[in-house]
Structure 1
Amino acid sequence: MDRLNNLFKHIRTRIAFFPTVISLAGLLLAFLMIYLEQNNISAYLINVAPALVIDNTDTAKTILSTLIGGLISLTVFSFSMVMVLLNQASSNFSPRVLPGIISDQKHQIVLGLYIATILYNIFVLISIEPTENAYQTPGFAVLFGIILAVVCLAAFIYFIHHISQAIQVGNILTAIHSRTKSEITSIIKQQEQHTLEFSSGQYWEAHEINKTGYFYGVLNDDLLKLCKKTQ
């Protein structure tokens, strides 16, 4: 169980975790919109709210192509900013602050939103059929793609603000203090629930550490196996 928890934490701290999950959601949304377009949802919306539906195939292709190119540039720029941030944090502070910055959900969600919107627009663009029939143009899907692009622009503004705050030493120390306090509180509660008398250290054996590093955590399963093996 501890091994699975450590594996999940290891995956969770990767910068690609949330972008991958959100990208899959964007892909599924694209397939859903294509399915709805095949059931003539745009034809229904043209009768109800014609101003919201793009019924020209060339215009739809142009809009989607522009959105895809712009969002790719925005994604590359945002990833570059993250890399610069990590490099600056490692140089000015300590490499130990990098996991906290990489695992920041806000950064991952924004980057995932970019990729999900790009995938959505690509698949909607592929689904456009070369026909003069206005109902074959996925007008509602294109409108939804435009809305997602606007959301991405708003997310980019927030991303710029948040990333400028994340590199400040005061905010880094505050975040470390909050995480440390939370972990200590959790450990204290666990010890209160499972109170055991600690054995005397009279016959303990000392082991010298022969390599550098820092303590990251205890693998309880591996430690128990080692104790059983050497008892």
Structure 2
Amino acid sequence: MDKWTLKARESIWFVPSIYSIASIILTIIVILIDTVFADSVQNALPKVLFTSVDLGTTILSSISTAILTMTTISFSTIMVVLTTYSSQFSPRTLQDFMTESSTVRVLGVFVGAFIYTVLSLLFMKDWLDDQRVLAAGVGIILAIICVGYFVFFIHHVSRSIRVSMLIERLMKEGMETAEKKKTLIEEGKLVLSEKQNFDYIEKLEWMAEATGYIQLLDTEGLAEKAKEHDLFIHYHKRIGDFVTDKSVIGEVYFLKEKKETIDINPYLEIGPERTPLQDGEFALQKLAEVALRAISPGINDPNTANNCIRYMSRLLIEFGEIDSDLLLFLDEDHKQRIFLPQRTFEEILYTAFYQLRIYGQADISVILTILECLILTAEGSSKPIRRKINSMYDFLVNSIKEGQFEPLDIVKIEEKKACLNELLR
């Protein structure tokens, strides 16, 4: 299912294609009504929906032109938004706007309505002159719907270019990934585990078939495959890692005698960029990138950076709840089938702050907000996670160069450090 979701998110044409097919079906139905079932249907529907062929042709021609104009304006607006996302936020956030259901749905409605009007005009035949047709009435309804979607799209764009909305959306992306893992744990399909030893007869190295980022893994389908052939699969790479076609992704262990060649590459998706579908840490990275872009000299917007860092604390709390070196996936019989490594909480902390602490070290507001983020994370985390924050204390806190700040700045830093120390004690 995740593979289909990924394909749909990467392909802008997917949803418009569905709307196009629906519009073709609607056109066929309306044409049948106007040509075959006209007498019976005209008595059942309001007469205001029916027009003469000449008037219907004029209306549909006007509607098709208007819809094409709205589509052009919408695409132009999308280009403006993409430029804004790339220059002010981060190139990695472009996909967040383009793959939103609202964006592709609006394009789908416009494309579908345009196809309907053009096809309806094609079937406006001269031999229909002596009767009234429904095609124009349906076209007017579609035009009203398109206007509504156009207004909604303008509202959606105006909200999307607000950095606060982008930050919240990135946080929700990461939380959805963590929630999926929690759901699998509750269903007994996933266990947070450490490496275990087991007996096997033969093992086989598994090589990548492409170069790129590991985007997702169909764990449920792969667990069924492993159960069918009595296998155990141990990944060496994590979701989000970059691999080449020469990389060893993992090993396949045959628990019984090997009977046939097993191809498990179809259960793995490798692409040119990371995706947050199963890679929640990617959302955290994008938040960090937006913060870095905000504190750059060209933009110089530390308040946006501070807002990103605060939202990062919520993601860190969520990742702390599923912290483990390895994820152990089980089959329907609760037998171990897949070992998948994941980033530990210390690694996540490092990747979240290793750039921010360098480029924000001269900004007192950024330093104070990083300490605030650690305080919020510690407040919402368990004792094991607090111990891991404490183990990173030297890297995150003691590296702050207090000598470059004024005495009052140092007082504020010490207050934050004292609060954090109290939580980590």
Give the structure-2-normalised TM-score.
0.45
Runs of 5+ consecutive residues of structure 1 not aligned to the other structure: 201-213
Matched, 1:127 2:150: no
Select the structure with the greater relative contact order (CA < 8 A; seq sep ≥ 6): 1
Who is 2:25 aligned against? 28
Higher radius of gyration, 1 or 2: 2
Q: Secondary structure at the match of 1:195?
A: strand
Who is 1:82 aligned against? 78
What displacement does 1:51 show?
3.4
Mark the CA change 1:151 to 1:197 in structure 2 (over 3 Å): closer, same or farther.
closer
Letter in 1 for 2:7: H
Who is 2:146 aligned against? 152
Mark the CA change 1:195 to 1:40 in structure 2 (over 3 Å): closer, same or farther.
closer
Matched, 1:107 2:110: no
For 2:195 and 2:214, the matched residues in 1 are separated by: 25
Who is 2:67 aligned against? 71
Runs of 5+ consecutive residues of structure 2 not aligned to the other structure: 197-211, 223-232, 237-247, 254-425
* RMSD (Å), alpha carbons: 2.9
Who is 1:207 aligned against? none
% same residue: 24
Given candidates 163, 168, 181, the residue that maps to 1:187 is 181
String of CA shifts for 1:143-163, please: whole Å, max 9, x gaps.
001110011011100110011
Contact 1:42 1:140 in 2 (8 A): no
Matched, 1:41 2:64: no
What displacement does 1:112 show?
0.6
Given candidates 251, 268, 282, the residue that maps to 1:228 is 251
What displacement does 1:197 show?
3.5
Letter in 1 for 2:150: F
Contact 1:42 1:53 in 2 (8 A): no
What displacement does 1:48 show?
6.8
Of Structure 1 and Structure 2, the greater helix share is in 1
Who is 1:142 aligned against? 136
For 2:43 and 2:130, the matched residues in 1 are separated by: 10
Matched, 1:175 2:172: no
For 1:95 and 1:11, the matched residues in 2 are separated by: 20
Given candidates 86, 93, 97, the residue that maps to 2:89 is 93
Contact 1:86 1:98 in 2 (8 A): yes
Matched, 1:5 2:2: yes
Q: Secondary structure at the match of 2:73?
A: helix
For 1:73 and 1:42, the matched residues in 2 are separated by: 36
Mark the CA change 1:59 to 1:197 in structure 2 (over 3 Å): closer, same or farther.
closer
What displacement does 1:24 show?
1.1
Q: Secondary structure at the match of 1:227?
A: strand
String of CA shifts for 1:49-89, please: whole Å, max 9, x gaps.
4333112x222111111111111111111011112111210
For 1:147 and 1:86, the matched residues in 2 are separated by: 31
For 1:80 and 1:62, the matched residues in 2 are separated by: 27
Q: Secondary structure at the match of 2:194?
A: coil
What displacement does 1:184 show?
1.2
Q: Secondary structure at the match of 1:54?
A: coil
Q: Secondary structure at the match of 1:122?
A: helix
Letter in 2 for 1:37: D
Letter in 2 for 1:183: T
What displacement does 1:47 show?
9.0
Write out aligned runs for 1:209-228 (5 A): 217-219=215-217, 223=235, 226-228=249-251
For 1:51 and 1:197, the matched residues in 2 are separated by: 68
Contact 1:121 1:145 in 2 (8 A): yes
Who is 2:113 aligned against? 117
For 1:216 and 1:143, the matched residues in 2 are separated by: 50
Letter in 2 for 1:182: E
Residue-pair matches, total: 212
Given candidates 15, 22, 46, the residue that maps to 1:18 is 15
What displacement does 1:18 show?
1.0
Q: Secondary structure at the match of 1:165?
A: helix
For 2:105 and 2:85, the matched residues in 1 are separated by: 21
Contact 2:49 2:136 in 1 (8 A): no
String of CA shifts for 1:82-110, please: whole Å, max 9, x gaps.
12111210111011211211111111111
